[in-house]
Structure 1
Amino acid sequence: MDTRERYAAYAERIAGVSPSYAAWARSLDDGVVSVLDEVPESKRQPELLFAVARRLGADPADPGALRALVQEARPALLGALTSATVQANDPRRLAPVVPLFAALAARVGRPLGLVDAGAAAGLCSIPDRVTLDYVVGARSEVVRMHTASVEPGLHLVAEASGAVPTPAAEPIEVRARVALDPNPIDLAGPGAFDRLVEAVPPEATDRTALMREAARATLAAPPVRIRGTLPGDLDRALEALPDDVVPVVLTTGTLVYVPGADRQRFVDRVRERGVHWIALERTGILSGVAATLPDDVDPADPDAFATASLDGVALAVSDPFGVCVRWLADPNL
């Protein structure tokens, strides 16, 4: 998939959520494409380009603002894009993975130590602080999947179908958490939250409000922040956990930014260390996980954009935002 096709697919996916971002994605001309061609593959994501453009003053309400920015400030755009990283944690991604944490916690019977790899500000480092409701079936029955035992917390609601897991009998206990990221964000710092949401589409005010709620919960249980990347700094992050916890690595939309060879090295290292791994990653980018998917899962289906897995086994698929989850198997079984 070339750059234009990639942005066209993004436009189709985001149009219902953000008409302005869809218009920007459709506005690519030769000038914008030439800028993207000058940066590494990992720097060509629409969210990253749009966040950098807004930081440089482009107005999302103007469909031609990207083209104008390239014409008027190409060196600044190129420089900022080269050094920038996507920092928008979406706590909605916890909806497919909280049941995996609950199943793992019940299985091991001990407190968990969490390494959130690609954590940004750690908004996905709080599975224990999530109260999760699933809306299930044609009658839209609301099923409480997990109840946070402490406040402040985060309330998530998602649609669920398929082999919906058994609700958690006990709350998840995360005793220690580490946030590993190339540029970890300290939410207590000045302007940190504004930096975090700069990639969020301007129409998505509900998403920003949810991120603010998650930020409050994260500040109440702040992770140890480690600056580093995968796979090279995984060991350092795991070694920061205390000895009395069961280590579990979490990746949510992280591995798409890791080059293919390093991606496999990460998977291999997780197995070598014998630690648990919970992931919500783009369907198909992890060959081992993809091999465990049933034949009826189509990676091109927007509702199967991401795959939720535990220890390398696919257990659910979801839309890009984690709000519509199809369960393939109950992780408790």
Structure 2
Amino acid sequence: MTTRDRYAAYADRIEAVSPSYAAWARSLDDALVALLAEVPEQQRQPELFFAVARRLGADPSDPGALRAVGREARPALVAALASATVQANDPRRLAPVVPLFAALAAATERPLGLVDAGAAAGLCSIPDRVTLDHRTSGSPLPADRAPVPSSRPDPSGRDGRGGVRTEVVRMHTAVDGPAVRLMAEVRGAVPAPASRPIRIGARIALDPSPIDLAAPGAFDRLVEAVPPEATDRIALMREAARATLAVPPVRMRGTLPGDLDRALDALPDDVEPVVLTTGTLVYVPGADRQRFVDRVRERGVHWIALERTGILAGVAATLPPDVDPADPEAFATASLDGVAVAVSDPFGTRVRWLRAPNL
């Protein structure tokens, strides 16, 4: 896929959520394509490019601002883009992986020791602080109604008031304290609800530039990559930030695969190690990506991932043949120990479960 094709596909995918980012993606001209060619391929992701451009003063409300910053600040833009990482770990991506953490928690008596690789500020380091509901119908749930398991529709497929009944199942309940509530539309081989709460005994946030949420301006930096129209997403990130501050991870500066061993070795001996990657490995060059996979396997630790469908050959080989990586509903693959268990949209809000987690 060429750079132009990648940005055109991104524009089509993001337009309903962010017209401003779609316009930026479609504004790509020969000069910007040439600029992007100066950085490694994994640094050409639209979200990363747009975040760096905003940091340098580009206004997303101006469709021509991306071209302008490319002309006026080209050396600074190339330099920043070459070393930048996307910092906005979207907490919605926890929805497809919380059931995998729950399966691990049920299979061991020890608390889990989490290494969140590519953690940014650690907003995905809190699976224990997620209350997760699965909804098996497209019908909207009233905002003032707490989700509870409901009976299935009558034979006509409707409830007593003539509307399609939504079945909502509580999959995991967060521990006490600041938490995040997530809802996912699901279908397929839906796993069973958690049999007990997820216990996390240690958290390490590994990132090339980890963010300390307690530092002034940290949250503003964190949302640089978020489209400006996504106010609901930013609000959810604030909730996740509060939950993360209640159980802050140990921040460790490092990259994959070189610093994986250092992060795992920092875990205490009385935990069950598990590595988490959520949208991280697309920014790791292909050879290093495979080295990471090989090292996780050599260490004999668990690995939970939500990564772009197809970028991990071993995981892709476990997908059923009817999964199309070009389908927006299969943009990402959730996997446990290298085996695909679900596919989802980019944000983990619509999930097709393929099989139950197997431990």
Normalising to structure 2: TM-score of the pair? 0.91
Task: Kindly report which structure 2 residues correspond to 1:111-150, keeping only aligned pairs within 5 A, or say none.
Answer: 111-137=111-137, 139-150=165-176
User: SS in structure 1 opposite 2:69?
Assistant: helix
Shift of 1:82: 2.1
Q: Are residue 152 (structure 1) and residue 199 (structure 2) matched?
A: no
Partner of 1:240: 266
Matched, 1:274 2:297: no
Asked if structure 2 preserves the Cα contact closer than 8 Å seen for 1:128 and 1:171, the reply is: yes
Deviation at 1:58, TM superposition (A): 1.1
Q: What's the secondary structure of 1:187's corresponding residue?
A: coil
- What's 1:231 paired with? 257
Measure, in 2, the Cα distance between the counterparts of 1:73 and 1:226. 31
Structure 2 counterpart of 1:22, which letter? A
Question: Partner residue of 1:321?
Answer: 347
One-letter identity of the residue aligned with 1:17: V
Corresponding residue number in structure 1 for 2:64: 64
State the partner residue of 1:299: 325
Residue of structure 2 equivalent to 1:104: 104
* Alignment-derived partner of residue 45 in structure 1: 45
199, 206, 218: which one aligns with 2:225: 199
- Give SS of 1:197's match: helix
Q: Over residues 204-243 of structure 1, what are the superposed CA-to-partner deviations in whole Å (9 max), with x where a residue is unaligned?
A: 0000000000000000001111111111110100011100
Distance 2:263 2:73 in 1: 39
1:277 aligned partner, one-letter code = W
Structure 1 residue matching 2:73: 3-state secondary structure:
helix
The separation in 2 between residues aligned to 1:271 and 1:258, in whole angstroms, is: 18
Using the TM superposition, give the Cα deviation of residue 111 of structure 1 relative to its aligned residue in structure 2, in angstroms: 0.7
1:84 aligns with 2:110: no
Separation (CA, whole Å) in 2 of partners of 1:242 and 1:107 = 19
Letter in 2 for 1:79: A
Report the Cα offset of residue 54 of structure 1: 1.1
- Residue of structure 2 equivalent to 1:181: 207
Displacement after TM superposition at 1:290 (Å): 0.6
> What is the deviation of 1:61?
1.0
Letter in 2 for 1:325: V
1:245-300 Cα distance to aligned partner (Å, 9 max, x none): 00000000111111111111111111111100000011111111111100110001
What SS is found at the alignment partner of 2:310? coil
Q: Secondary structure at 2:95's aligned position in 1?
A: helix
**Residue 225 of structure 2 aligns to which amino acid in structure 1?**
A
> Higher mean Cα deviation, 296-305 or 53-62?
53-62
Percent identity over the alignment?
A: 82
List runs of 5+ in structure 1 lacking aligned partners: none
Tell me whether 274-283 or 58-67 shows the greater mean CA deviation: 58-67
The answer as to whether partners of 1:165 and 1:332 remain within 8 angstroms in 2 is no
2:12 maps to 1:12? yes
Q: Which has the larger radius of gyration?
A: 2
For 1:198, what is the secondary structure of its paired residue? helix
CA gap 1:332/1:272 in 2 versus in 1, 3 angstroms: closer
Distance (whole Å) between structure 1 residues aligned to residue 77 and residue 300 of structure 2? 43
Structure 1 residue 209 corresponds to structure 2 residue 209:
no
| CA shift for structure 1 position 68 | 1.5
Equivalent residues of 1:166, 1:332 under 8 A apart: no
Q: Distance between the aligned counterparts of 2:280 and 2:75, measured in 1? A: 28
Quote the Cα distance in structure 2 between the aligned partners of 1:91 and 1:234. Answer: 22
Q: Deviations over 1:56-102 (max 9, x none)?
A: 11111111111111222222222222232211110000000000000
Q: For 1:31 and 1:130, how far apart are their aligned partners in 2? A: 44
- Deviation, 1:332, is 6.1
CA distance in 1, matches of 2:2, 2:341: 30
Which secondary structure state, in structure 1, belongs to the residue aligned with residue 214 of structure 2?
A: coil
Contact in 2 for aligned 1:49/1:81 (Cα 8 Å):
yes
TM-score (norm. length: structure 1)? 0.98
Output the CA distance in 2 between the equivalents of 1:243 and 1:83. 34
Task: Tell me the SS of whatever aligns to 2:171.
Answer: strand
Shift of 1:186: 0.6
Structure 2 spans left out of the alignment, 5+ residues = 139-164
- Greater than 3 Å deviation, 4+ residue runs: none
